[in-house]
Amino acid sequence: MPTIPGKTPPVRATAEQSAEAFAALRKILAAHAKGLRVTADGPKAYSLNTPYCAEWKKELFFGSVQVTKNYVSFHLFSVYMFPDLLEGISPGLRARMQGKACFNFRAPDEELFRELAALANAGLERMRSLKLF
């Protein structure tokens, strides 16, 4: 595959790093599975939806973890719905953001994963407090 001069291809995570990151990130979401609906649970994807939301007339996406070619991606829809939840996040976690609600990791990072867990808790509590489900 030809490379663009001056541009290096992204470093890929090893299979072991991806598996460890996926397992840790999956654990963060799985902690919220009670009361939510698991829509995917495989070796490379785990996803949760809320129960039916009368306001939106459908289930709402809560979050997912996916193993991709270069990263393990953690999607958290509540930060898209409530961007103020991102106020005060660490520069390290902000650097992992891709778009408005996705965080990419090549390897496990306990400190950032603890911060993500707190963000997931805050997002779920906000959704519940607004009676979205």
What does the pLDDT look like over 41-89, one tens digit per residue?
999 999 999 999 888 899 999 999 999 989 999 999 999 999 999 999 9
Q: What backbone phi and psi angles, to 5 degrees, belong to 110?
A: -55, -45
* Residue 1: pLDDT over 50: no
Q: Which domains does the chain possess?
A: 15-129 (3.90.1150)
**Closest C-alpha to 130, from 73, 42, 53, 63:** 53
What does the pLDDT look like over 4-25, one tens digit per residue?
555 555 677 788 999 999 999 9
* Residue 109: pLDDT over 80: yes
pTM: 0.88
What pLDDT does residue 13 have?
A: 77
